[in-house]
Amino acid sequence: MKKSICVVGLGYIGLPTAVMFANHGHTVYGVDVNEKAVNMINEKQLHIEENGLQERLEKAIDAGLFSASTKPQKADVFIIAVPSPIMPDKTANLEYVRQATASVVPYLEKGNLVILESTVPPRTVQDIMLPELVKSGLEIGTELFVSHSPERVIPGRVFEELVSNDRIIGGYTPESAHQTKELYKSFVKGQMHETDATTAELVKVMENTYRDINIAFANELAKLAETLGVNIWEAIKLANYHPRVNVHEPGPGVGGHCIAVDPWFLVELAPETAQMIHLARKTNDGMPGYTAQMTASILDAKGIKDPKVAVFGLAFKGNIDDMRESPSMDVIEALREREIHLSAYDPHIKENNIDEQVQSQEEALEDASAILILTNHNKFKEIYPTTLKNMKNKIVIDTKNCIDRATWEAAGFDVYVLGDSKN
Residues with catalytic function:
204, 258
Residue 62's CB is within 10 A of a number of other CB atoms, namely 10
We find the least distance from the C-beta atom of residue 301 to ligand SAJ, in angstroms, to be 26
Q: Considering only 84-92, 106-114, 256-264, 290-298, which stretch makes contact with ligand SAJ by CB under 6 A?
A: 256-264
What does 349-385 look like in DSSP terms, one character per residue? --S--STTB-S-HHHHHTT-SEEEE-S--HHHHT--G
Chain positions 118 to 137 lying near ligand SAJ, rule: CB under 6 A, are: 119
CA dihedral sign, ordered 102, 104, 110, 111: negative
Contact 66, 16 (CB under 8 A): no
Residue 92 touches ligand SAJ, criterion: CB under 6 A: no
Spatial distance between the Cα atoms of 26 and 20, rounded to a whole number of angstroms: 9
Contact 396, 208 (CB under 8 A): no
We find the least distance from the C-beta atom of residue 276 to ligand SAJ, in angstroms, to be 17
Residue 317 touches ligand SAJ, criterion: CB under 6 A: yes
- Of 178 and 211, the one with the shorter C-beta distance to ligand SAJ is 211
Spatial distance between the Cα atoms of 230 and 221, rounded to a whole number of angstroms: 10
Residue 280 touches ligand SAJ, criterion: CB under 6 A: no
Residue 155 touches ligand SAJ, criterion: CB under 6 A: yes
Strands of 36-142 (E only): list them.
66-69, 77-80, 113-116
- Of 107 and 187, the one with the shorter C-beta distance to ligand SAJ is 187
Strands of 161-211 (E only): list them.
167-171, 192-196
- Of 102 and 192, the one with the shorter C-beta distance to ligand SAJ is 192
- Of 255 and 347, the one with the shorter C-beta distance to ligand SAJ is 255
Contact 390, 371 (CB under 8 A): no
Residue 377 touches ligand SAJ, criterion: CB under 6 A: no
Specify the pairing of strand 66-69 against strand 308-312: unpaired
Residue 291 touches ligand SAJ, criterion: CB under 6 A: no
Please pick, from the candidates 171, 256, 313, 347, the single residue that binds ligand SAJ as defined by CB under 6 A: 256
Q: Calculate the alpha carbon distances from 350 to 46, 50, 315, 322 in Å.
A: 14, 15, 11, 11
Contact 391, 203 (CB under 8 A): no
Residue 251 touches ligand SAJ, criterion: CB under 6 A: yes
We find the least distance from the C-beta atom of residue 219 to ligand SAJ, in angstroms, to be 7
Residue 245 touches ligand SAJ, criterion: CB under 6 A: no
Q: Considering only 85-93, 122-130, 222-230, 255-263, which stretch makes contact with ligand SAJ by CB under 6 A?
A: 255-263
What backbone phi and psi angles, to 5 degrees, belong to 389?
-100, -30
- Of 145 and 316, the one with the shorter C-beta distance to ligand SAJ is 316
Spatial distance between the Cα atoms of 420 and 417, rounded to a whole number of angstroms: 5
Residue 265 touches ligand SAJ, criterion: CB under 6 A: no
Contact 254, 204 (CB under 8 A): no
Please pick, from the candidates 5, 215, 235, 331, the single residue that binds ligand SAJ as defined by CB under 6 A: 215
Q: What is the largest CA-CA distance in the chain?
A: 73
- Of 97 and 258, the one with the shorter C-beta distance to ligand SAJ is 258
* Of the candidates 160, 168, 161, 165, the residue with the CA atom closest to the CA atom of residue 206: 168
CA dihedral sign, ordered 211, 375, 161, 21: positive
Please pick, from the candidates 254, 292, 309, 329, the single residue that binds ligand SAJ as defined by CB under 6 A: 254
Which residues share a beta bridge with 148? 116, 170
Please pick, from the candidates 17, 27, 101, 208, the single residue that binds ligand SAJ as defined by CB under 6 A: 208
Residue 263 touches ligand SAJ, criterion: CB under 6 A: no
- Of 60 and 213, the one with the shorter C-beta distance to ligand SAJ is 213
Chain positions 357 to 376 lying near ligand SAJ, rule: CB under 6 A, are: none
We find the least distance from the C-beta atom of residue 320 to ligand SAJ, in angstroms, to be 8
Residue 248 touches ligand SAJ, criterion: CB under 6 A: yes
Q: Considering only 130-138, 203-211, 290-298, 299-307, which stretch makes contact with ligand SAJ by CB under 6 A?
A: 203-211
Q: Considering only 56-64, 109-117, 146-154, 383-391, which stretch makes contact with ligand SAJ by CB under 6 A?
A: 146-154
Number of residues that bind ligand SAJ (CB under 6 A): 20
Contact 344, 373 (CB under 8 A): no
- Of 198 and 376, the one with the shorter C-beta distance to ligand SAJ is 376
Which positions lie near ligand SAJ, rule CB under 6 A?
A: 119, 151-155, 207-208, 211, 215, 248-249, 251, 254-256, 258-259, 316-317
